[in-house]
Every structure is written in structure tokens, then in C-alpha cells.
Amino acid sequence: MSDPFVWSGRFDGDDVCHRRLFQVINQSKNPHFGLLGFQSDEGVRRNQGRLGAAAAPDLIRKQMASFPVHQAFSLTDFGNVSVEHQDLEAAQAQLGEKVTMLMDQGITPIVLGGGHETAYGSFQGIFHHVAQQHPNESIGIINFDAHFDLRSADENTSGTPFLNAAHLCQAHDQPFHYLVIGIAAHANTRALFDKADQLNATYVMDTALADLNHTLKILTTFVNTVDHIYITIDLDVFSNFIAPGVSAPAVRGISVATFEALFIHLIDSGKVRLLDIVECNPNFDIDQRTTKLAAFIAYQFIQYHIQKEPS
């Protein structure tokens, strides 16, 4: 566990109209939203990717700190989980326990990765919460990603989280509902497409996102089949000029406008219970573009939720 992050930012005054996120965070023990960091790139190392994502959570927090507060909300920072002695599996289990704990208290977790190995920790958390608190209800994973992350390997990596999740579902005789948005043909082998088909996964190619209405219909159909939604966002789904600081930059990628239209649609469903944002790699970022994008997505997630709530 790392030292607690110290929240500070630009100070314009204490009046409500001047307040920024650093001035309102950690004011509630039972907040609407809870931040968790997963300081890991062990899965990326195992997957032969570019290291650096372990440093991202606190840098994303730093970018979030000075965002303005337009409507009242409560957000508490529950700290970071770190990988010790390269024991990724233990750290994923610890993250899962923390996610379950927050969800059991009615708190919506926002997890800042870390490599995409973060996702298996996140999924363990929502899986155990739903099993204990909402038996017989289903979970849908919606992954914004250029990659399926369904690799077969002898150990958990940043390329295996959703196959790990599928195996967890199978072990408990639960259905596996998985939708990936932004798949790049050049970034996935035939074996990965075959594995996705074998698992009855739904996917939208990056080239198909030009037809936004069609993608929204696919989303709606998927959302209607599940009770709870976990959104995971691999920042390599965005064009590399938008998100250069990732393990595997996208040649094509998607735009922020396309992403936002889909993201808002999902939040409007009222079924989103958990968000994580992964693969931000500050070592390869340019002008903090990727870190700022990650912070913006976390902020918008909160804004879209509170805008839906009755005043």
C-alpha cells in the first residue's frame, strides 16, 4: 500500500461557486462514489508490454483535483492497492475485496489502473457483490478496447482478464456476458476472434463505429439482457494522438465524441455499477494528454450520474 495521496489544487475561494474537487473530496464516509487506485503494471510486464502504468493512479488524481464542482456530490478516496513481490494474483484479490466492500455499502467504485490486469480484480469485486447481494441477477462487462484481452496464458496478465472472468463465471455456473467496443483487426489474432466467438462475446470493430446508431442499438440490446453493468476503459481504444501514453497505442482508434455518446447512453440505462480506467502509461505520454483524458472520463462519469439524479 502506497502513502495516501494528498489532495490539493488551484484555490479560488471557499464559496460554493468557486469550489473544486480537492475541496469536497473525503468529506463523507458513505459517499456516492469511491476512488480506488491499482498500482500495477506486473500484468503488462508478463504480457511483454511497455511498463509505466503502475504510476498512473496518483497522476490521474492530480489531474482530477482542480476540476470544478458544479453540482453537489460526495466522493471519497479509498487509496491504492499495490502489487507486492510481483504477486499480481494476490493484489487482484485484494482489489476485488475492496470493490465488493464499497458496493456492499452502496458506493459506486471508480478504479484507476494500472494495466488492464486491473479488470480481473474489478470483476472479482462486482462478481462477489452480485452473488451475495443480488443472487440470480446477471453482470454485463462492457470493454472499450482495441483488444479482446482473452489470451490464454499460464498466469494472469494484462491480456487475460476477461478470459479469467469467463473462467470465474464458469466455475460458479454463471453466464458470461461480454461486449467489446473498438476492436482493431490488426491488433488481434484469429485465435482471439475465435475465442470471442466461442464465448459468445459481442464486439464492435473500430471501423464500424462510424455508424453510431447501429452501435447504440447493439449497446441497447446488450444492456437489456443484463441486470448490472461493469464498464472498463482501456485508453488504447482512443486514437494515438489523443492517448499516446498507453502500452499499445492505436493506429486508428476512436474519437472522444464517439466514446461520449456511447458512455452517456450506458449511464442513462441506470445499470452501471462499476467503472475502471486502465493502461494510462505516463512514461510515454505527451503533455499529459492521456492522464488528462483518464481524469476527464472519471469526472464525466460523476457528472453524468449526478445530472440524472432528481434535484
Average of pLDDT values for 234-242? 95
234 is an annotated ligand-binding site residue: yes
Q: CB of 157 within 8 A of CB of 43? A: yes
Q: What is the pLDDT of residues 181-207, one digit of tens each?
A: 999 999 999 999 999 999 999 999 999
* pLDDT at res. 186: 94
* pLDDT at res. 5: 95
14 is an annotated ligand-binding site residue: no
Average of pLDDT values for 291-304? 97
Compute the distance between CA of residue 171 and CA of residue 125 in angstroms, rounded to an integer: 16
Is there a domain that residue 129 lies in? Answer: yes
**With bands split at pLDDT 50, 70 and 90, how would you rate the model's confidence at 3?**
confident
Strands 272-278 and 202-205: unpaired
Q: What is the pLDDT of residues 10-56, one digit of tens each?
A: 999 989 999 999 999 999 989 999 999 999 999 999 999 999 999 99
173 is an annotated ligand-binding site residue: no
Number of domains in the chain: 1
CATH of the domain at 91: 3.40.800.10
Average of pLDDT values for 110-127? 98
Is there a domain that residue 34 lies in? Answer: yes
Average of pLDDT values for 276-301? 98
Is there a domain that residue 175 lies in? Answer: yes
Is there a domain that residue 237 lies in? Answer: yes
Is there a domain that residue 7 lies in? Answer: no
Is there a domain that residue 4 lies in? Answer: no
116 is an annotated ligand-binding site residue: yes
**With bands split at pLDDT 50, 70 and 90, how would you rate the model's confidence at 1?**
low
* pLDDT at res. 310: 52
147 is an annotated ligand-binding site residue: yes
* pLDDT at res. 311: 44
Average pLDDT score, the chain: 96
CA distances from 59 to 77, 236, 283, 290 (A): 14, 18, 11, 10
> Does the pLDDT value for residue 221 go beyond 50?
yes
> Does the pLDDT value for residue 140 go beyond 60?
yes
Instruction: Residue 167: give the domain boundaries.
Output: 16-307
Q: H helices of the chain, where?
A: 21-24, 42-46, 56-64, 88-104, 118-133, 161-171, 190-198, 212-223, 256-268, 289-308
Average of pLDDT values for 51-67? 97
**With bands split at pLDDT 50, 70 and 90, how would you rate the model's confidence at 307?**
confident
3 is an annotated ligand-binding site residue: no
Is there a domain that residue 114 lies in? Answer: yes
Q: CB of 81 within 8 A of CB of 39? A: yes
Is there a domain that residue 236 lies in? Answer: yes
Sheet holding 228-234, edge to edge: 75-82, 33-39, 108-113, 272-278, 228-234, 139-144, 177-183, 202-205
> Does the pLDDT value for residue 243 go beyond 70?
yes
Coil vs helix vs strand at 133: helix
- The lowest-confidence range among 122-131, 139-148, 250-259 is 250-259
With a pLDDT cut of 90, the percent of the chain lying above it is 94
- The lowest-confidence range among 55-64, 187-196, 201-210, 242-251 is 242-251
**More confident of the two residues 247 and 277:** 277
Q: What is the pLDDT of residues 83-100, one digit of tens each?
A: 999 999 999 999 999 999
